């Protein structure tokens, strides 16, 4: 089985071909066209700009993704595909529409089934891109046991999701305001560090003292699994203004900024890990999964692994490879496989009426 997947939920334009043979994954291609350089000029994503660029590059990206397939032309190569998959939502409506309409057209022209995929499910199943590889004769995915608790953290979402089986999602906690990735971007803007904020803050934080500034941990002691990062971002804003007003400008140097970044990052990590551990104690999962663009934060990965092992001797924790943490089409293909396996694909009639859904929920 070969699945061609398309992902255009935000500013990335991605396509991937995933081959599945007897339950084992073989990722043939995973092409991502980034727009970071374009949007860094604006300090954030401009939806109309993102969609226009995606219109320009989506066909070349798809063509590049199928180059590895047999055939002398793109048309002949596409005939090797058994299924198409596309991100239906959530995301930016203009960007999602580019991917959905392209996938629908290919589905009709090639007469291939189309699988609509929830972007958040993609981040969850990104863990299986490594998990379904054979290691010493054993599939790692066999070690991912249900129930599963998933911490999904990205620029637009912060969720704790309980899964009792494949395709069964129960959101047990979510952000009440800013997503964690959004908070990183806003703090980077406050500190004039550029965009995107996550990698920059992470780099600055590695050179700073996380105990230097006592920043708040919003909702960390509340008896629920929800998150809030707006107040933390505001605390950084007030701290920055205070430091600049109470000292000479030259004293607000890279060392101070690194300390702010480290203190902010640690506050975020403390909230994320505390809430995850609390949820794990209530729901008793056998596995914890991490997913989303912020899952690439190395300090978060290290501390989550360390503290989870300390709290639970019987819970396994899995994290996606760094290349699969951000938006990519390989994760959409992986999620589509499980939908195919559990027979949730669309009929031809429903395929033609499929539309992008920016507010799609799990």
181-212 pLDDT per residue, tens? 999 999 999 999 999 999 999 999 999 999 99
Beta-bridge mates of residue 163: 148
Structural domain contains residue 132: no
103-120 pLDDT per residue, tens? 999 999 999 999 999 999
Between the alpha carbon of residue 188 and those of residues 118, 176, 197, 227, 330, the distances in Å are 29, 21, 5, 20, 29
Structural domain contains residue 199: yes
Whether the per-residue pLDDT at 135 is higher than 60: the answer is: no
What token pair was written down for 343?
Answer: 């027979």
Are the CB atoms for 87 and 9 separated by under 8 Å?
yes
Whether the per-residue pLDDT at 61 is higher than 50: the answer is: yes
Considering only 31-40, 149-158, 223-232, which range has the smallest mean pLDDT?
A: 31-40
Name the residue among 49, 42, 284, 24 with its Cα closest to residue 138.
Answer: 24
Structural domain contains residue 171: yes
Examine the domain organization and report whether 115 and 164 are in the same domain: no
Structural domain contains residue 153: yes
Three-state SS for 15-39 is: EEEEEEECCEEEEEEEEEECCHHHH
Examine the domain organization and report whether 244 and 158 are in the same domain: yes
Q: Tell me the three state secondary structure of residue 9.
A: coil
Examine the domain organization and report whether 118 and 232 are in the same domain: no
User: Is the peptide bond between 222 and the residue preceding it cis, with omega within 30 degrees of 0?
Assistant: no
Residue 33's domain spans which residues?
2-126+328-353
Structural domain contains residue 135: no
Question: What's the CATH number where 201 sits?
Answer: 3.30.420.40
Identify the pLDDT of residue 136: 46
If you search the block for the tokens 């969720």, which residue do you land on?
Answer: 159
Whether the per-residue pLDDT at 140 is higher than 60: the answer is: no
**pTM of the predicted protein model:** 0.94
Total domains, the chain: 2
What token pair was written down for 200?
Answer: 């920059």
If you search the block for the tokens 């990590």, which residue do you land on?
Answer: 269
CA distance 178 to 14: 26
Examine the domain organization and report whether 90 and 224 are in the same domain: no
* DSSP one-letter code for 175: B
Between the alpha carbon of residue 321 and those of residues 260, 278, 299, 324, the distances in Å are 28, 25, 15, 5
Examine the domain organization and report whether 312 and 341 are in the same domain: no
289-331 pLDDT per residue, tens? 999 999 999 999 999 999 999 999 999 999 999 999 999 999 9
36-46 pLDDT per residue, tens? 888 888 888 99
Beta-strand runs (E) in 145-192: 148-153, 158-163, 170-174
Structural domain contains residue 75: yes
């Amino acid at each position: 089985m070969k699945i061609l997947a398309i992902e255009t939920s935000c500013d990335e334009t991605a396509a991937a071909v995933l081959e599945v043979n007897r339950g084992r994954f073989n990722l043939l291609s995973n092409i991502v066209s980034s727009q970071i350089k374009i949007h860094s000029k604006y300090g954030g994503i401009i939806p109309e700009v993102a969609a226009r660029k995606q219109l320009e590059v989506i066909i070349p990206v798809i063509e590049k993704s199928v180059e590895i397939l047999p055939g002398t032309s793109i048309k002949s190569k596409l005939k090797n595909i058994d299924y198409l998959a596309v991100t239906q939502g959530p995301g930016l409506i203009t960007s999602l529409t580019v991917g959905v309409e392209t996938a629908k057209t290919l589905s009709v022209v090639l007469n291939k089934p189309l699988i609509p995929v929830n972007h958040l499910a993609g981040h969850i199943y990104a863990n299986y891109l490594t998990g379904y590889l054979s290691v010493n004769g054993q599939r790692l995915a066999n070690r991912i046991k249900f129930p599963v608790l998933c911490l999904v953290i990205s620029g637009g979402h912060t969720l704790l999701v309980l899964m009792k089986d494949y395709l069964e999602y129960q959101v047990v906690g979510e952000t009440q305001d800013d997503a964690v990735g959004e908070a990183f971007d806003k703090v980077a803007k406050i500190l004039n560090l550029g965009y995107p904020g996550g990698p920059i803050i992470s780099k600055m934080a590695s050179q700073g003292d996380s105990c230097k500034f006592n920043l708040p941990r919003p909702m960390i002691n509340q008896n629920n699994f929800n998150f809030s990062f707006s107040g933390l971002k505001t605390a950084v804003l007030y701290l920055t203004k205070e430091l600049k007003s109470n000292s000479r400008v030259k004293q607000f140097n890279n060392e101070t900024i690194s300390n702010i970044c480290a203190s902010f990052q640690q506050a975020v990590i403390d909230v994320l890990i505390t809430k995850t551990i609390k949820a794990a104690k209530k729901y008793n999962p056998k596995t914890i999964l991490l997913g989303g663009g912020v899952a690439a934060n190395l300090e978060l990965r290290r501390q989550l692994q360390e503290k989870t092992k300390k709290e639970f001797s019987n819970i396994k924790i899995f994290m996606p490879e760094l290349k699969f943490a951000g938006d990519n089409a390989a994760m959409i293909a992986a999620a589509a496989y499980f939908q195919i396996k559990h027979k949730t694909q669309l009929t031809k009639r429903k395929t033609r009426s499929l539309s992008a859904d920016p507010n799609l929920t799990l």
